[in-house]
Amino acid sequence: MEIRYKRSHFAKLLGFTDQQLSAADKLPELKALGGGPASYQPRHLSAYRRVLDRHPRREPSRRQLFLNFKGGTGKTSLSVAYAYRLAELGHRVLLIDLDSQGHATQHLGLAAESLERTVFEILVKGVPIEDVIVPHALAEFDVLPANLRMTTIDISLMPMAGREYKLQRALAGVLDRYEFIVMDAPPSFGLLNLNALMASDDLLVPVLPDFLSFHGLKLLFETLSQLEDDLNHRLQRIRIVINQYNPTTRIAREAKDALESHYREFLASFWRTRSCGSVRSSQGHRATACPSMPTPHRPREPGTSTPLSPR
């Protein structure tokens, strides 16, 4: 699948007026890339940034984990859209797919099952992160992929010394390269997710506005308090993100009210329309993830490819 940007959107991502973009299009170095008004693609976005030195202010590095032990709440959809959007805005981003289902990897158009190295090789075999990273057409965006070969990762980690700290230690070596390290967790609890929690500053918890989600949240908060007691790790921020909120249904309104009364301090404090999830980064970037995700399974019209729009 190819992502193409509408001219107005391409200009907006670069912070350019139409005239400024026209002037940039004429630069020989950019002209030679064959982009231009008819087909701006992610690689052009990165090239325009590089050649014209259009970079956002560099943010201090943050490690952000999308986790809920309950399945299907939007961890992958939101984390991929959020990470990708930050990279489109010019931030250096590493997306880590921690789920052996490899959905985040596939969302990005990578053939997950044919990849020989995944997060497994980093955590279990001690392979350096650099050797596993898959670069993306958007130069600001790197991916650590996952696939089904990772299913035994919890068992493989079990006998290892320092088994809860493997990911934290592996990331320490690349922290200065990225502003955002975004992790998509599997819907399970085990050593891999424990590693992910230990390697995170912020936790983003996508929930669906239904009552089943409550059970998952209770378990998650109990786990977090154990983590603080046993492993002395305290997350800096925890944000619950209500995904797929549809205000026209009573169940969604009631679930939202219940979430507000039990978890008010953790709720992301804004709402979007139905079937759209909102996330805000620690630096205040606000974004909405809508179904128009960069997925190879859902090709879209040229120009409508942006997965997130800043609000």
Starting at the edge strand found earlier in the chain, the sheet holding 202-207 runs 134-135, 141-144, 93-97, 180-184, 62-66, 202-207, 237-242
Residue 71 contact, options Mg ion, ligand ATP, none, Cβ 5-8 Å cut-off depending on partner type:
ligand ATP
Q: Which of 35, 90, 216, 277 binds ligand ATP (CB under 6 A)?
A: 277
Instruction: Tell me the closest approach of the beta carbon of residue 244 to ligand ATP, in angstroms.
Output: 5
Residue type, 291: P
How many chain residues touch ligand ATP (CB under 6 A)? 18
Q: Using CB under 6 A, which of 37, 72, 128, 296 touches ligand ATP?
A: 72
The binder of ligand ATP chosen from 275, 296, 299, 311 (CB under 6 A): 275
Q: Counting contacts by CB under 6 A, is residue 246 touching ligand ATP? A: no
Any alpha helices (H) in the chain, and if so which ranges? Answer: 7-14, 18-25, 28-31, 42-52, 75-88, 103-107, 119-123, 153-157, 166-172, 191-198, 212-231, 250-263
CB of 130 to ligand ATP, least distance (A): 27
Interaction of residue 76 with Mg ion, rule CB under 5 A: yes
State the Cα–Cα distance between residues 84 and 307, nearest whole angstrom.
7
Amino acid at the residue 254: E
In angstroms, the CA 252 to CA 258 distance is 10
Residue 75 interacting with ligand ATP (CB under 6 A):
yes
Structure tokens at 295: 């997925």
- Of the two residues 72 and 126, which places its CB atom closer to ligand ATP in the complex? 72
- Minimum CB distance to ligand ATP, residue 309 (Å): 13
Contact between 70 and Mg ion per CB under 5 A = no
The first and second tokens of residue 201, run together, are 């500053």
Binding residue (CB under 6 A) for ligand ATP from 86, 181, 276, 287:
276
74, 90, 294, 307: residue in contact with ligand ATP (rule CB under 6 A): 74
Q: Which does 291 bind (CB under 5 to 8 A by kind): Mg ion, ligand ATP, none?
A: ligand ATP
User: If binding is defined by CB under 6 A, does position 291 make contact with ligand ATP?
Assistant: yes
Structure tokens at 173: 């070596």
Task: Pick between residue 44 and residue 272 the one whose CB is nearest to ligand ATP.
Answer: 272
Buried b (16+ CB within 10 A) or exposed e, 140-160: bbbbbbbbebbeebbebbeee
What is the three-class DSSP state of 86?
Answer: helix
The C-alpha atoms of residue 214 and residue 123 are separated, in whole angstroms, by: 32
Question: x/- string (CB under 6 A) for ligand ATP, residues 98-137?
Answer: -x---x----------------------------------
Binding-site member from 75, 91, 239, 280 for Mg ion (CB under 5 A): 75
CA–CA distance, 81 with 289 (Å, rounded to integer): 6
| Cα separation values, 62 from 74, 82, 154, 225, 266, Å | 21, 14, 25, 21, 18
Using CB under 5 A as the binding rule, whether residue 49 contacts Mg ion is answered as no
Pick one of 106, 147, 193, 243: the residue that binds ligand ATP (CB under 6 A).
243
68 binds Mg ion (CB under 5 A): no
- Beta bridge partners, 267, equal 240
How is 216-246 classified by DSSP, letter by letter?
Answer: HHHHHHHHHHHHHHHH----SEEEEEE-S--
List interacting residues with Mg ion (CB under 5 A).
Answer: 75-76, 103
List interacting residues with ligand ATP (CB under 6 A).
Answer: 71-77, 99, 103, 186-187, 243-244, 275-277, 289, 291
